Each structure stands twice: as structure tokens, then as C-alpha cells.
A and B are shown apart, each in its own frame.
Chain A
């Protein structure tokens, strides 16, 4: 009997949340992992971000330069590999946020197109 009362006390402390599945609201607890998940963001084609952390070894372009899809923009060295970073679209370079020798993190903004 003592066990049940303990459990009720414990239940009161649990912070239940509402989860909506197929229009039905369920009262439930969430997991740590669920709470930590990041909201999805639509990819912005005009913002070129680092796909891997590494070091900027070379930059081939300057602001206001017009580039075609596939043109080499810079070299990002990561995991002992020199990766050519190419233009994903036809466009004009607006800003270059890195310089040669910079260490960049994953998803760091490298270049912005106008």
C-alpha cells in the first residue's frame, strides 16, 4: 500500500506534456532526445555554408564577382583532403565571410550570394 502512495506522489511531480498525433491529444512525458531536437530549416541557396569543419586554404573569388554554377570558389581542407567548394548557383558574390587560414566549424557561413 505504501508503494502506491509513493507512486502517486511521484506521478504528481512528473511534468506531462501534450503530444498531438492524428488530431488526438495525448497526455505524456517527453524524452530528453525529443526535447533536444532542432527545428528544421529550409536550405537557403544564397548562403553557402561549410559542409565539414576545416581550414580555408585558398579563395578564388572577390565580392561582386559574377560566377556560374560549378565555378571554383574556395578550397576547404578537412580530414587531410583539399575540397574544392564550387558555386551551387549562377549569381554574384555578395560577401566572403572567411579569409585564407581561417578555421571554420560545420555549418559556418562562408559566402553569401547577392
Chain B
């Protein structure tokens, strides 16, 4: 056989494999508004950058007549490529081939590309669209999942791991995304659950649709399992590209530097965003936009626990992770979900050399039986743990209220913030004036001729004396009292001066965080 014939043979084999599940199955995939696995990879990566591996891998099923079946690529496409020039490893499950089901060879392809990502020290992106374990392959399918979970865990904090849910991801399969850093979902396309609606109906007699049980909206708003919500696959791909621009390739690098750009101060005038009355709401994201380059803020988990805001921006061209109380929602309290959300983000930033900017304005913890019973002690402790453990530069700006435990938790000096600034509007105190006056002056109020007037007077006295930043400043718990308009300069300088920060904690295998 000459080269020409051999080349023709290769081309024929490739054509066969690239067809995936064939035109019927592709038509079905498209009919429900989904792109094919290959289209997805090509839309995420830079043009002509995709290099595919293991196209000719064959499945390993031997029982139930599976040996007579040909499954192109065994239902998953793997390879490497670039996103805006940044190298990534990528895989996409192909629902058109045996429902994207995971068998031994399918898993082997995924673990191979994951191992590559670890060796090359580049991010791994996994696109999930699979009916689950390939039942015909029995325990080998389970082994495949286990091998993926193990690698997800080993890679955690070493290379960025991104999961994109573009179809069903059910049963054991959900645990790979859950172990990764960021989960992307698309409305109407993503479906994630441990037990599906049918099992729930049979066992419990409760009827619920897939969308209501584990759709994109549910995971973005209620469970917090996803980090980025979009309404189309194109929007989702844009979000992935944006995220990649903010994060480094691995834990030994810093994120790419961008040209410095001033904030859009006309649109976001920091002096006009915050009402001085601590009981009035405002959108804290406007404050972040007032200090970040080009007023850009890339929010993470926008819909989940919206009482705390987390996300990426740039200060002077460098990526910063923002954590900010959101007075617009639930008065910006800390609770089970918001502590959980912020703590994980802090750990992400710390793993990947991203400095953390904390913006503080909170009344404390959310009171409630449900909160106590849901373990707000344990979840709240996650924030203390994450901030205390983080060794990246930590800059804190106290804007308005910082009461009680909330003051400590929001990256105070006591948890080793490097720089803490407060605005003149800051109120740093053990609790709000109303509560404090009631306790401290209990007897005076009780024995007064007119208790209400006495209470009002005592609240006023307490407010004047303690509802300011100067008591904390007198102890050196805050480093500077600055005017709001100085905040950006404060951040630029603090981050520049701490760019070589190196802090080493006590030697240990690992801590025991309040998981």
C-alpha cells in the first residue's frame, strides 16, 4: 500500500470517527437547542488551535453484545488548545454516542487529558453531557468515575478546573463538577441531580420536573452548586473566555497583566453610591466598579446567597478577587450560604495567587432558628478559617457598618489582613447602637421616669462615642481612615507594595477546616 492509499485510509477512518453518533443523533441533539460536542470545543477554543487526541480509542465493553458495537471516540472528545492564547486541556462528552455514557475507555480518555493538564500545568475544561455510567460495563464504569474524582482532588489548587454542564449530568457523574473550581450552567440545557425525577416519583411519590429539581436556575440560585449562569451556550462560552482572562495557568503563576485603565467615574461616583444612614440599601457592586479598572467586575455566583458579592476585577492591570457584603440583599448579613460562598472563593484566590480585596458593610449574622439549625456556627467558621489561612495580599476597606462577629470575619487585622482602611462613615463596634445601648444602660433605661426618652438619649450617646472608625483606629486595628474617593489609590498602593509578600504558616500536612 502506498502513502496515498494509507492517507486515504486514515481520512476515511477519521471521517467515520468524527461523525460521532451519526446524523440522526446529531439532529436530535440540535432539535433541543444543543450544540454537538465538537462544535462546543471549537467555539470555546481559539480558531484552529484544537488538537485532538485519542480519536481512535475504542470502547472496552465485552458483555451484552457490546463487543459488536462501534462507538466513535467512545463518546468523548479530548485535546488541547488555546483560549485568547492561554493554553488549556479540554474534553467534551458526546451525547450522540451512546448517550455520552461513561465506560472504561471513555473515562481513560478523560483521565489521560487530566494527567496531561497536570503535567503541563494548564487549566482543564470538562464539558459534561452524559446519561451517566454505561451500565453494560458494570463496575468498570464506576472505576472510571472514581479515577476522575481522585484526579480532580489531586489537581485542586494546582491547576484551574472548569466544568461546563451542557446536558444531563446525573448520579455519580455530578461529583466531578462538584470537585472542580467553577461550574457553568445554561438555562434549559443543564440538568444535575443525584437521583432524578423518576426515582423520586417511584420512591417518594413526589412529582417534580428535571428543571425544577436540578435545572440551571436551581443550581445557581438555591443550591449554589453552579458559579456561572447563562441563557445560551454562546453566552456560556463567553463567560468561560472571560474567566480564563482573570485566572493564572496554575498555582505557581500569576494571572495575566492587562493595560491599566481608570474606572468610569462619571457612571460610578464613589461619593454618591453609599447612603450615610446605615439602614439604607445600595448596590455594593457599584462601589467595586468605582474602584476597578474600566469599572469591570466579573461576578461569580451572582444569584446564590446574593447577600455577599464575590468576583474578579482588576486593579492597575492585575487581577483581584473581591469579597463584599451586599446591603441590597438581606441587609448584607452573613449566613450559612453567604459564608460558604465567600469562604470557598477566598480559598480559590489564595490557591491561585490572586490578592483579596474585602469591602465591609454588614449588620452581623442573620438571626433565625433555621440558620442556627442549619449550622451557621460551622459554616460561619469557614470564613474565619479561609481568611486566616490565606497568605495572598489581603486588603480590607470598611465602608459603613462592621458590627460584632461580622467585623472580625470580614478580613479584619486580627485574621491578618495586610492593610485595613476605613471610611469616615465606618461604624466599628461590638454591636449596633440600638442593641448595645439597651444592654449597657439597661438599668438607667428601666429606672428612668421616661424609659423611651432615656433609651433614645443613650442610643445617641453610644452612637456619638462608638459608631465611628476612630475607636478602632486608636487601637491600630485599622491602618488609615480615608475618604471614599481615595479608595482606589489605597488599593493600588497596597497591592503594589505587597506584590512580593511571602508568608509561611506552621508546618502541617493540612488543617481540619469546618467542611
Could you tell me which A residues sit within 8 Å of B by CB distance? Answer: 3-4, 16, 19, 21-34, 37-38, 40, 53, 79, 103, 105-106
Q: Looking at the complex, which one of B205, B222, B403 makes contact with A33 (CB distance below 8 Å)? A: B222
B280, B329, B363, B368: the one within 8 Å of A31 (CB): B329
Q: Is the CB of B327 within 8 A of A21?
A: no
Whether A27 pairs with B434 at a CB distance below 8 angstroms is no
Query: Contacts A16-B281, A22-B363, A23-B438 given: A31-B330 contact, CB under 8 Å?
Result: yes
Contact A23 B204 (CB under 8 A): no
Whether the pair A105, B432 counts as a contact (CB closer than 8 A) is no
Most buried by A among B204, B280, B306, B333: B204
Residue in contact with B331 in the complex, picked from A21, A32, A79, CB distance below 8 Å: A21
- In the bound complex, do residue A32 and residue B203 qualify as a contact, i.e. CB atoms below 8 Å apart? no
Known: A27-B281, A30-B329, A30-B330. A21 touches B221 (CB 8 A): no
Quick check: is B63 within 8 A (CB to CB) of the other chain?
no
B436 (CB) vs chain A CBs: closest residue: A22
Find out whether the CB atom of B434 lies under 8 angstroms from the CB atom of A28.
no
Q: B222–A40 contact, CB under 8 A?
A: no
Known: A26-B281, A40-B369. 19 other contacts (CB 8 A): A3-B267, A4-B267, A19-B330, A19-B333, A21-B366, A21-B367, A22-B363, A22-B403, A25-B279, A26-B363, A28-B331, A29-B329, A30-B329, A31-B305, A33-B222, A33-B337, A38-B370, A53-B203, A106-B204
Q: A24, A29, A30: which contacts B434 (Cβ < 8 A)? A: A24
A19 to B370, CA, bound (A): 16
Q: In this assembly, does B364 line the interface, its C-beta being within 8 Å of a C-beta of chain A? A: yes
On chain B, the number of residues with a Cβ less than 8 Å from chain A's Cβ atoms is 37
CA distance A25 to B332 in the complex (A): 13
List of B residues within 8 angstroms of A21 by Cβ: 331, 333, 363-364, 366-367, 432
Tell me the bound Cα distance from A32 to B303 in angstroms. 10
Nearest CB of B to A24, in Å:
5
Q: Is B307 close to A, CB under 8 A?
A: yes
Question: By the criterion CB–CB under 8 Å, are B204 and A33 in contact?
Answer: no
Q: Tell me the bound Cα distance from A66 to B260 in angstroms.
A: 80
Q: Is the CB of B328 within 8 A of A28?
A: yes
Check if A24 sits within 8 Å of B435, measured CB to CB.
yes
Please determine whether A40 and B435 come into contact, CB atoms closer than 8 angstroms.
no
Q: Of the candidates B267, B279, B369, which one forms a contact with A27 in the assembled complex, judged by CB atoms under 8 Å apart?
A: B279
Contact B327 A22 (CB under 8 A): no
Please indicate the chain B residues that have their CB under 8 angstroms from the CB of A27 in the complex. Answer: 279-281
- Which of B221, B364, B370 has a CB less than 8 Å from the CB of A22? B364
Collect the chain B residues with CB atoms within 8 Å of residue A26's CB.
279, 281, 327, 331, 363
Tally the A-B contacts, defined by beta carbons under 8 Å: 79
Residues of A within 8 A of B278 (CB): 24
Residues 390-405 of chain B, each 1 if its beta carbon lies under 8 Å from chain A, else 0: 0000000000000100
Q: How far is the CB of B282 from chain A (nearest CB, A)?
A: 10
CA A16 to CA B275, docked complex, whole Å: 15
B459: nearest chain-A partner, CB-CB: A23
A40 to B369, alpha carbons, bound, how many Å?
A: 7
- Residues A37 and B370 in contact, CB atoms below 8 Å apart: yes
Q: Give A32 to B220 CA distance when docked, in angstroms.
A: 12
Contact of A28 among B329, B368, B435 (CB under 8 A): B329
- CB distance B281 to A22 under 8 Å? no
Q: Which residues of A contact B434 (CB under 8 A)?
A: 22-24
Q: With A and B bound together, what is the CA distance between A53 and B435 in angstroms?
A: 44
A29 shortest CB reach to chain B, Å? 5
Chain A hits for B204, CB < 8 A: 53, 105-106
B433 contacts which chain A residues (CB < 8 A)?
24
Residues of A within 8 A of B366 (CB): 21
Q: Report Cα–Cα, A21/B436, bound state, in Å.
A: 12
Please, how many angstroms separate the alpha-carbon atoms of A76 and B327 in the complex? Answer: 47
Cβ distance A37 to chain B, nearest Cβ, rounded Å = 5
Is B39 part of the contact surface with A, judged by Cβ < 8 Å?
no
Residues of A within 8 A of B403 (CB): 22
Question: Is the CB–CB distance between B306 and A31 below 8 Å?
Answer: yes
B206 at the interface (CB under 8 A from A): yes
Q: Once the chains are docked, how many angstroms separate the CA of A105 from the CA of B275?
A: 50
Would you give the 0/1 interface string for B15-55, flagging 1 where the beta carbon is closer than 8 Å to chain A? 00000000000000000000000000000000000000000
Tell me the residues in window 433-468 of chain B with beta carbons closer than 8 Å to chain A beta carbons.
433-435, 438
30 residue pairs of the A-B complex, CB under 8 angstroms, read A4-B267, A19-B331, A19-B333, A21-B331, A21-B366, A21-B367, A22-B432, A24-B278, A24-B363, A24-B432, A25-B279, A26-B279, A26-B281, A26-B363, A27-B279, A28-B281, A28-B328, A28-B329, A30-B329, A31-B305, A31-B306, A31-B330, A32-B221, A33-B221, A33-B337, A37-B368, A40-B370, A53-B205, A105-B206, A106-B204
Q: With the chains together, A34 CA to B205 CA distance in Å? A: 26
Once the chains are docked, how many angstroms separate the CA of A103 from the CA of B328?
A: 45
Is B240 at the interface (CB under 8 A from chain A)? no
Question: In B382-436, which residues have CB < 8 Å from any A CB?
Answer: 403, 431-435
Across the A-B interface, give the 7 residue pairs with the lowest CB-CB distance, nearest first: A22-B435, A26-B331, A23-B434, A40-B369, A28-B331, A21-B363, A53-B204
B 212-243 contacts with A by CB, 8 A: 221-222
In whole angstroms, how far apart are the Cα atoms of A40 and B368 in the complex? 10
